[in-house]
Chains A and B, each alone.
Chain A
């Protein structure tokens, strides 16, 4: 029997995402992967990167450990003791004859290879999923993408992972120099009540909250799940620094200095609404989950595993037409959810996912919302890797996370900052959006952001 120190439990969110991955594999013939992209200046040392990446993976078995249920039926765990049997990370440096990336004002064209990686179906499931690709252009500039099974690293953790790699390269950290929270036996980020009765009460409260979302119909850009092959495309654009400052001021004024994500969420809903209205498919409501980082305040915070809960928002279409009214509705819902303890309730509910058959939860969620999971995925992640100026010898010109999204709802929007510029990353199911819809989407988004 393996020792406890050789096993690492999945977080509840990990288990939730594992269920997502299982459903995506079964129905959409892809894994539920995430990616982080760095756009680097000349000088990237690919050989050093490959070496350090291998050292870090070797020192952190979770990066390739298989997942097993205890005794075949218990809670799923990372089996650190079996990691050595699995392949290490894969890295390839590709020379590209394509035009080198332009400046900040130019349209962003990312290598098609990165989209291929995001849509991959790995025959062996999770094993060996940490995949790195560098694409080097004739002028020496390089695009780098790391792709992994989403549950391995959340957005915050993936940025810290990049920082770990860079620090190891500079000799500032050892490959195993990770926060204590990443080790076996450490307490969870959120302490739940001791009794199953209390935990069950919290989980049921969350389930009722979720069930209530089904009172009004939802329709996503890709429509209900139809078994389409996942074929995600990634669009990326930035605002100039002056425009970005104006947008940030507007977000602070309308939503608050520490809570600008409510402004960005409102803008994202209205951009989707513009497209649905253009299609003549306006739903009764829009439903969007917002990730909440659970790492304890003031703690170093674990890098690996997903450490999030979800706040869910539902707004009626009539509330979407007016930006200020929409902001007020989103703020009120957020306050109510926090007051009712829904973040903690979500943690309790997702804990049960660790024990249940993974297929169950996706099915339940889609049934509750009549075939839809939500209207789209959204996140605002703030400044990307602040302080990370260079990466393996090259200047970091831009960096951003690329979230995955199932073929339905077929849309994920992430906003982040780098070098005082607001960047927008839109991941979408390719055949669910026409060119004119994408233009309308961006036009509405820009109009609301700038005011």
Chain B
């Protein structure tokens, strides 16, 4: 993955779509700003999400990078992954 290919916005969209369509069963108000823990993100779903991100981007994000702050919303998660990748 290069920064040119995967912007924070594109990562946000990917994360949001995978969570909404495949991993969670959120209500109609679910958005990229929704709290992920409150929406049902758990240990299994977060790993499935990371596997989906790896499949799309080729980059593996270790769970240990996922702090409560990073896991707050799809946007914050995307930003943390992007920052991690940019620093590699």
- Report which of B23, B24, B39, B46 forms a contact with A258, defined as CB distance below 8 A: B46
Taking a contact as CB atoms under 8 Å apart, the answer to whether A297 and B24 are in contact is: yes
For A334, the closest partner residue in chain B by CB is: B47
Q: Which chain B residues lie closer than 8 Å to A343 at the CB level?
A: 44
Taking the complex as formed, is A104 at the interface, i.e. its CB lies under 8 A from any CB of chain B?
no
**Chain B 5-39 interface residues, beta-carbon cutoff 8 Å to A:** 23-27, 39
Q: Which chain B residues lie closer than 8 Å to A258 at the CB level?
A: 41-43, 46, 63, 66, 71
How far is A339 from B47 in the complex, measured between Cα atoms in Å? Answer: 9
Taking the complex as formed, is A259 at the interface, i.e. its CB lies under 8 A from any CB of chain B?
yes
With A257-B71, A258-B71, A338-B51: A297-B45 Cβ-Cβ less than 8 Å = yes
- Report which of A254, A261, A297 forms a contact with B25, defined as CB distance below 8 A: A297
Say what secondary structure dominates the interface of chain A: helix
The interface centre, meaning the residue of A252, A257, A334 with most chain B CB atoms within 10 A of its CB, is A257
Taking the complex as formed, is A255 at the interface, i.e. its CB lies under 8 A from any CB of chain B?
yes
How far is A404 from B67 in the complex, measured between Cα atoms in Å? Answer: 33
Taking the complex as formed, is B58 at the interface, i.e. its CB lies under 8 A from any CB of chain A?
no
How far is A343 from B51 in the complex, measured between Cα atoms in Å? Answer: 15
Q: Mark A252-269, 1 if CB is under 8 A from B, else 0.
A: 111111110110000000
**Chain A 337-359 interface residues, beta-carbon cutoff 8 Å to B:** 338-339, 343
Taking the complex as formed, is A186 at the interface, i.e. its CB lies under 8 A from any CB of chain B?
no
- Report which of B24, B39, B42, B48 forms a contact with A338, defined as CB distance below 8 A: B48
Taking a contact as CB atoms under 8 Å apart, the answer to whether B64 and A253 are in contact is: yes
Taking the complex as formed, is B62 at the interface, i.e. its CB lies under 8 A from any CB of chain A?
yes
Taking a contact as CB atoms under 8 Å apart, the answer to whether A252 and B47 are in contact is: no
For B27, the closest partner residue in chain A by CB is: A298
How far is A186 from B23 in the complex, measured between Cα atoms in Å? Answer: 21
For B64, the closest partner residue in chain A by CB is: A256
How far is A257 from B69 in the complex, measured between Cα atoms in Å? Answer: 10
- Report which of A252, A261, A296, A339 forms a contact with B43, defined as CB distance below 8 A: A261
Taking the complex as formed, is B4 at the interface, i.e. its CB lies under 8 A from any CB of chain A?
no
Taking the complex as formed, is A335 at the interface, i.e. its CB lies under 8 A from any CB of chain B?
yes
For A380, the closest partner residue in chain B by CB is: B43
Taking a contact as CB atoms under 8 Å apart, the answer to whether B26 and A298 are in contact is: yes
Q: Which chain B residues lie closer than 8 Å to A296 at the CB level?
A: 25
**Chain A 371-429 interface residues, beta-carbon cutoff 8 Å to B:** none
Taking a contact as CB atoms under 8 Å apart, the answer to whether A335 and B47 are in contact is: yes
Taking the complex as formed, is A331 at the interface, i.e. its CB lies under 8 A from any CB of chain B?
yes
Taking a contact as CB atoms under 8 Å apart, the answer to whether A297 and B66 are in contact is: no
What distance in Å separates the Cβ of B20 from its nearest Cβ neighbour in chain A? Answer: 11
- Report which of A255, A262, A292 forms a contact with B44, defined as CB distance below 8 A: A292
For A328, the closest partner residue in chain B by CB is: B62
What distance in Å separates the Cβ of A299 from its nearest Cβ neighbour in chain B? Answer: 7
How far is A294 from B3 in the complex, measured between Cα atoms in Å? Answer: 37
How far is A262 from B43 in the complex, measured between Cα atoms in Å? Answer: 10
How far is A335 from B48 in the complex, measured between Cα atoms in Å? Answer: 8
Q: Which chain A residues lie closer than 8 Å to B25 at the CB level?
A: 296-299
What distance in Å separates the Cβ of B45 from its nearest Cβ neighbour in chain A? Answer: 6
Taking a contact as CB atoms under 8 Å apart, the answer to whether A255 and B64 are in contact is: yes
- Report which of B40, B64, B71 forms a contact with A297, defined as CB distance below 8 A: B40
- Report which of B40, B44, B66 forms a contact with A256, defined as CB distance below 8 A: B66
Q: Which chain A residues lie closer than 8 Å to B47 at the CB level?
A: 259, 334-335, 338
Taking a contact as CB atoms under 8 Å apart, the answer to whether A335 and B71 are in contact is: no
Taking a contact as CB atoms under 8 Å apart, the answer to whether B45 and A259 are in contact is: no
Q: Which chain B residues lie closer than 8 Å to A338 at the CB level?
A: 44, 47-48, 51
How far is A246 from B36 in the complex, measured between Cα atoms in Å? Answer: 25
Taking the complex as formed, is B87 at the interface, i.e. its CB lies under 8 A from any CB of chain A?
no
The interface centre, meaning the residue of A256, A298, A339 with most chain B CB atoms within 10 A of its CB, is A256
Sample (10) of A-B pairs whose CB atoms are under 8 Å apart = A252-B64, A258-B41, A259-B47, A296-B25, A298-B24, A335-B51, A338-B44, A338-B47, A338-B51, A339-B51
